Amino acid sequence: MDTKLTLSIDINTVNRAKKYAKRQGRSLSDLVENLLKAVTSNEKIDEEELMSRISPEIRELIGIIKAPKDFDYKKELGNAIWEKHVK
C-alpha cells in the first residue's frame, strides 16, 4: 500500500533531482522510495564492494586518524570558530 509523504527540500535540490529522475526514466517518488529502502535495509553491506567504489587516494586515508570515543566534533568546531572570530 502506498501513502503520500510531504517533504521540505531545497528547491534547487528538487529541480536537480527531477532532471536526474527524468534522465533515468524514473519518477522522483521511485528514486526517493528506493533511496529510503537502501538506507533502512538490514542487509549487510559488502565491505569489499564498498571499498572498490572508493578512490585509491581516499582509501589510503581510511583509519589514519583515531579520535577518542568521547570526541565531540561539533564542540571542537565551535571552539575553533570562537577562537578564530572572537580572539
Whether residue 39 is predicted with pLDDT greater than 80 in this model: the reply is: no
Mean pLDDT for 63-75 is 85
Whether residue 81 is predicted with pLDDT greater than 70 in this model: the reply is: yes
In a domain, 5, yes or no: no
pLDDT band at 52; cut points 50, 70, 90: confident
- The cell numbers describing 38, all together, are 537502501
In a domain, 24, yes or no: yes
In a domain, 76, yes or no: yes
pTM as predicted: 0.46
In a domain, 74, yes or no: yes
When divided into structural domains, the chain yields a total of 1
What separation, in Å, do the N-terminal and C-terminal C-alpha atoms of the chain show?
58
Q: How far apart are CA 68 and CA 26, in angstroms?
A: 44
pLDDT band at 38; cut points 50, 70, 90: confident
In a domain, 2, yes or no: no
Pair 28, 21: CB distance under 8 Å: yes
In a domain, 18, yes or no: yes
